[in-house]
Structure 1
Amino acid sequence: MDALLLSRIQFGFVISFHILFPAFTIGLASWLAFLEWRWLRTRDALWRDLYFFWLKIFAISFGMGVVSGIVMSFQFGTNWAVLSEKAGNILGPLLSYEVLTAFFLEATFLGVMLFGWTRVPERLHFLSTCMVALGTLISTFWIISANSWMQTPQGYTLTPEGVFEPADWWAIIFNPSFPYRLAHMVLAAFITTCFVIGGVSAWYLRRGAHGEAARRMLRLSVLFAAITVPAQVLVGDLHGLNVRDHQPVKLAAMEGHWRSHGPGAGVPLVLFALPDEAAERNRYEVAIPRLGSLVLTHSWDGEIAPLTAVPADRRPPVAPVFWSFRVMVGLGVLMLLLALASLWALRRGRLYDAPWLLRGWQWMLPSGFVCILAGWYVTEIGRQPWVVYGVLRTSEALSPGVHGGSVLASLLAFAAVYAVVFGAGIWYLVKLFRKGPQPHAPVPERVPGERTPARPLSATDEPLEEG
C-alpha cells in the first residue's frame, strides 16, 4: 500500500497502453499518405482499396490513443502535483506546444481525411492525409523533447524553493539526449507499423486470401524493413554512447555491470544473468570478455562506470532494466535477420512461396510493440530514483497527502475500464484484419462547378423535388 510505488505502477500502467497506439499511428499515417500517393499516380484500384482498409485501422487506433492520453494527463495533478509545481514552467509550455502545433493540426485535417473522399478535391484530400502524418511527427517531437529534458536536463535555473525556471529554450528543447531519442522513437514507430503490415500480409498469403494485396504489402514491408532496421541499429548504438556520457548508472544497469575489472581488463558483454542487488553481483552469468568494451566504448579495453560507483539509493532497479534491454535487443536482432532473409528471398523470387518466412513475419507481427514497451521500461525505470535526472527525486515529486488505498482503488478502476474499452477496440481491429481489404465503390466523375454527391446515386434513390 505504499503510495509512491503504487503511483509509479499506475502511471506505468497507463502509459504502457498509451504509447502503443500513438506509436502505431505515427507509422500508419505515413503509410496512408504513401498509399494515397500511389493511387493518385497510378489510378490502380488496389491502392485505393488498401488505403480505405488501413484508414479504418488508423481511425480506431487514433481514438484509443487519444482516450488513454487524456487519463495520463490527469495524474500530473492528482499523483504528481509537486512535479507539476516545480517543473511546470518547463514541461507545461513543451506539452502546450504539442497541443498547439500538432494536435490542432491533426484535428483540423482528420475529419477531411476520414470523411472527405468524395466531398473535396483529390489533392486537398491527399494534403489532409499528409498533414495528419506531419501532425503525428510534430507531436512526437514535442513529447520526446519534454521527456528527454527530464532525462538530460539543461537550460534551466533553480530558485531557492527548488522551482525550475527556463533560462535557454533552445537548450531545453534540444537537450543532449533529444536528437538520439527522437530518431530512435520515430524509427521504432515506423518499424512497428511495418511489421504489423508484413505480419497481416503473411497471414493472408498463408490463408490464400487477398493474394495481390498481400503480396504488394509484404514486398513493401520487406523493402522498408531492410532499410529501417539496420538504421535503427546504428541509431541505437549512438543512443547508447549518449547514455554512457550522460546517464552512466542507467547504462551500468542495462549491462549488469557491477564492478570494474581493473585497468586494461575491459568490460564483458553479459548475455545472461540474474542480477542480485542485495549481493551486488550477477548470478549464473554468461558473458563474453571484452566484447562489452567494443560495443559500449568502441575500443577493446574501454571502461564504463560500474553500479557500485554510486550509493545503492542512487541506483535504479537493476533486474527490470537489464531484462527489458535484452528483450528489446533480442527482438531487434530477429527483426534484422528476418528482414535480410526476406530481402534475399524476394530477389530470388521465392518470398511468397517460403512458408518459414511467412510464418516468421506472422509471428513477428507484435514484435514492434514489445520492443517499444521494453525500450520505454529501460528509459523510465533506468532513470530512477530521479524524475528529473540528478536534480529531483521521484519520491520528492509525489503529491502530498496521497494515500496508497486511493491510488490502489483508482488503479483497479483503470484496469477494469481499460479491459473493457481497449478489449472492445482490439477485438474490432482483429475483426477488420480478418475481413481484409475490400473493393471500394468507384469514385464518381467530378463535373467542374458541381458538388460531388456523398455516394453515387442508385436506381432506388428517390429524386428530390425542386422548390
Structure 2
Amino acid sequence: MPGFTALELARIQFGFTVSFHIIFPALSIGLASYLTVLELCWLRTRREVYRDLYHFWLKIFAVNFGIGVVSGIVLAYQFGTNWGFFSQFAGGITGPLLTYEVLTAFFLEAGFLGVMLFGWNRVGPGLHCFASAMVAIGTLISTTWILASNSFMQTPQGYRIEHGVLAPDSWLAIIFNPSFPYRLLHMSVGAFLATAMVVAACAAWHLLRKNDTPAVRTMFSMAMWMLLVTAPIQAVIGDAHGINTLEHQPAKIAALEGHWENQGDEPLPLVVFALPDMNSESNHLQIEIPRVGSWILTHTWGGQIKGLKEFPKEDRPNASIIFFTFRVMVGLGLAMIALGLCGLWLRKRHAMYSSPWFLRLTTLMGPAGLVAILAGWYTTEIGRQPWVVYGLLRTRDAVSTHAAGTLALSLCLFIVVYAFVFGVAITYIFRLMRGGPARFVTEGSAH
C-alpha cells in the first residue's frame, strides 16, 4: 500500500480487525441477557411462545458468540506483533487485566455454555436457566475487564513508572479509574440497545411478510419496550460521559465539537455541521445554533471550554474525523429514541404490529445500534490520539519495528480472510433470522 507508513498501516489493521470484532461481543452481551429473560418468562408462565423464542435466538447467539471469541483472539496477538513497545511499556497493567478476564469471564462462560446450548433435554429447568444466567453474567464480566483496561489507557491512574515501564501502584485505582464507570455503562447499555434494534428489525421483517405469529409479536413487543427504556437512558449516560471526558480529555471534546477558539466571553454555539480543517485551524461551511453548545457542554448558557488552538498541534486529535463519527452516533441515538416513542404511540393506537411504514422503518434501522457503537468507538479511540496511553505513551512510540510492506501484506490477508469468514457467518445468521421462530418440540424432557 504505497504512501502509508508502518504506523499508519498498523493503526488501520487494528482498526479493521476490531471493527469486525466489536459488533459480535456487543450482540453476545445483549442476546445472552435476552435469552435469560426469555427462559425466566418460560419458567414463570410456561407459555410456549417464550420457549420457542429462546430456541430461535439461541441458535443465532451460538454463531455470534463463536465468531466473537475467534475474532477477539486476533486482537490479542496484534498487541504482541504490531504494538510490541506498547506491550512492553503497559503490559504490566493491561496484561493482568486481560488475564483476569480469562480467569473469570471465559472460565465462567466455558463452564456453562455447553449446558446452555445442549442441555435443554438433559438437565432440569432450573439448572438450565442458571446456566443461561451464568453465561449472561460472564459476558458482562468480560465487558468489565476489557473496559477497565481500555479506560486505564484513556484516563490512567494508580500506576508508577519503574525502569521506563508502567507498574501497578493500586489495582483499585487502576480498575476504577475516572472514566471507567461511564464507559462500562455506556458500552453495556449500548449493547442492550443494539440487540433490541436487531430483535425488533427481525420481528418487523416477519410482520411485513405476514408472518404474524404470537412468537413474532412477542419478540417485537419486548424489543420495542427495551428500545423505549434504554435509548433515553443511553442519552443520559452519554451526557455524563461527555462531562467526564471534558474534565480528563478536553482536547477530545474540542475536536469532536469542532471548537477552535473562544470569541471573548461569548457563549459557545452548537456546531451542527462543518468541515473541520486541521491545517487552517478552522471550520468550513459551518452551521451553528447560538448558545446551545454552552448548555450541552457545561450545562450553563454562558460556559466555555478550551478551543483546539489552546493545545499544542502535536497533541490535537483529528477533528476532521471524530467531528463526524460523533454526530453519527448522536444522530442514530436520537433516531432510536424517536423510534421508541413512535412505537409507544402506535401501541396505544393498537397499530404497532400492522403499520407498514413503521415496520419498514424498524427493519431499516436494525443495524442502527451496532453502527452507533462503531461510531462511538471511533470517536473514543481516534479522539485519544496522538496517545495510546493518554499523556504517557504516544502512538508513534508504541508500534513495533516492522517494515511497511510486511504490514501491508498482513492487512491484505486480513481483508480477504475476514471478508470470507465473516461473510459466511453473517449470511448464516441472516438465514436463521429469515426462518423465524418455530415450535420447539422437546424429547421427553422435564421441560
TM-score over 0.5 for the pair? yes
1:267 shift after superposition = 0.9
Which residue in the other structure is 2:230 paired with?
228
1:261 shift after superposition = 1.4
1:213 shift after superposition = 1.5
Q: 1:188, 1:70 → 2: CA distance? A: 23
Superimposed CA distance per residue, residues 350-397 of structure 1 (whole angstroms, 9 cap, x where no aligned partner): 211222211111111000110000000000000000000011100111
Q: What 5-or-longer segments of structure 1 have no aligned partner? A: 447-451, 453-467
Q: What 5-or-longer segments of structure 2 have no aligned partner? A: none
Counterpart of 2:246 (choices 244, 256, 259) is: 244
Answer yes or no: is 1:441 the counterpart of 2:444: no
1:17 shift after superposition = 0.7
Report if aligned partners of 1:210, 1:436 keep a CA contact under 8 Å in 2. Answer: no
Q: 2:320, 2:213 → 1: CA distance? A: 45
Which residue in the other structure is 1:176 paired with?
178
Q: Could you tell me which amino acid in structure 2 is paired with residue 138 of structure 1?
A: I
Answer yes or no: is 1:101 the counterpart of 2:123: no
Counterpart of 2:46 (choices 40, 43, 46) is: 43
Which residue in the other structure is 1:138 paired with?
141
1:319 shift after superposition = 1.2
Q: 1:445, 1:287 → 2: CA distance? A: 63
1:412 shift after superposition = 0.5
Q: 1:124, 1:428 → 2: CA distance? A: 30
1:75 shift after superposition = 0.7
Which residue in the other structure is 1:464 paired with?
none
Q: Could you tell me which amino acid in structure 1 is paired with residue 101 of structure 2?
A: E
Q: Could you tell me which amino acid in structure 2 is paired with residue 192 of structure 1?
A: A
1:348 shift after superposition = 2.3
Q: 1:371, 1:134 → 2: CA distance? A: 24
**Matches for 1:266-285 after TM superposition, within 5 Å:** 266-285=267-286
Which residue in the other structure is 2:350 paired with?
349
Aligned partner of residue 141 in structure 1, secondary structure: helix
Report if aligned partners of 2:122, 2:445 keep a CA contact under 8 Å in 1. Answer: no
1:445 shift after superposition = 5.0
Which residue in the other structure is 2:404 paired with?
404
Query: TM (normalized to structure 1)?
Result: 0.94
1:209 shift after superposition = 1.0
Which residue in the other structure is 2:367 paired with?
366
Report if aligned partners of 1:210, 1:437 keep a CA contact under 8 Å in 2. Answer: no
Which residue in the other structure is 1:114 paired with?
117
**Matches for 1:22-101 after TM superposition, within 5 Å:** 22-101=25-104
1:162 shift after superposition = 2.2
Q: 1:120, 1:218 → 2: CA distance? A: 30
Q: Could you tell me which amino acid in structure 1 is paired with residue 293 of structure 2?
A: G
Q: Could you tell me which amino acid in structure 1 is paired with residue 419 of structure 2?
A: A
Q: 1:294, 1:331 → 2: CA distance? A: 21
Q: 1:54, 1:312 → 2: CA distance? A: 49
Which residue in the other structure is 1:427 paired with?
427
Larger radius of gyration: 1
Q: 2:55, 2:396 → 1: CA distance? A: 48
Q: Could you tell me which amino acid in structure 2 is paired with residue 375 of structure 1?
A: G
Aligned partner of residue 256 in structure 2, secondary structure: helix
Aligned partner of residue 384 in structure 2, secondary structure: coil
Q: 2:79, 2:42 → 1: CA distance? A: 44
Q: 2:201, 2:380 → 1: CA distance? A: 27
Q: How well do the aligned residues superpose, as a CA RMSD in angstroms?
A: 1.0
Q: Could you tell me which amino acid in structure 2 is paired with residue 415 of structure 1?
A: I
Answer yes or no: is 1:417 the counterpart of 2:417: yes
Superimposed CA distance per residue, residues 177-196 of structure 1 (whole angstroms, 9 cap, x where no aligned partner): 00011000000000000000
Counterpart of 1:20 (choices 4, 23, 26) is: 23
Which residue in the other structure is 2:380 paired with?
379
Superimposed CA distance per residue, residues 200-240 of structure 1 (whole angstroms, 9 cap, x where no aligned partner): 11111110014222211111111111111110010000000
1:136 shift after superposition = 0.2
Q: 2:344, 2:273 → 1: CA distance? A: 31
Q: 1:445, 1:233 → 2: CA distance? A: 44
The range that moved more, 37-46 or 359-368, is: 37-46
Report if aligned partners of 2:252, 2:317 keep a CA contact under 8 Å in 1. Answer: yes
Which residue in the other structure is 1:313 paired with?
314
Q: 1:275, 1:162 → 2: CA distance? A: 37
Q: 1:47, 1:358 → 2: CA distance? A: 22
Q: 2:7, 2:122 → 1: CA distance? A: 52
Q: 1:158, 1:70 → 2: CA distance? A: 29
Q: Could you tell me which amino acid in structure 1 is paired with residue 261 of structure 2?
A: R
Q: 2:443, 2:188 → 1: CA distance? A: 34
Q: 1:99, 1:261 → 2: CA distance? A: 51
Answer yes or no: is 1:291 the counterpart of 2:292: yes
1:137 shift after superposition = 0.3
Q: 1:239, 1:258 → 2: CA distance? A: 22
Which residue in the other structure is 1:389 paired with?
390
Q: 1:192, 1:238 → 2: CA distance? A: 20
Q: 2:210, 2:40 → 1: CA distance? A: 28
1:442 shift after superposition = 3.0
Q: 2:356, 2:423 → 1: CA distance? A: 31
Which residue in the other structure is 1:462 paired with?
none
Which residue in the other structure is 1:6 paired with?
9
Q: Which aligned runs of 4 or more in structure 1 are off by greater than 2 angstroms?
A: none
Aligned partner of residue 352 in structure 1, secondary structure: coil
Aligned partner of residue 94 in structure 1, secondary structure: helix
Q: Could you tell me which amino acid in structure 2 is paired with residue 125 of structure 1?
A: H
Calculate percent identity across the aligned residue pairs: 55
Counterpart of 2:153 (choices 150, 153, 165) is: 150
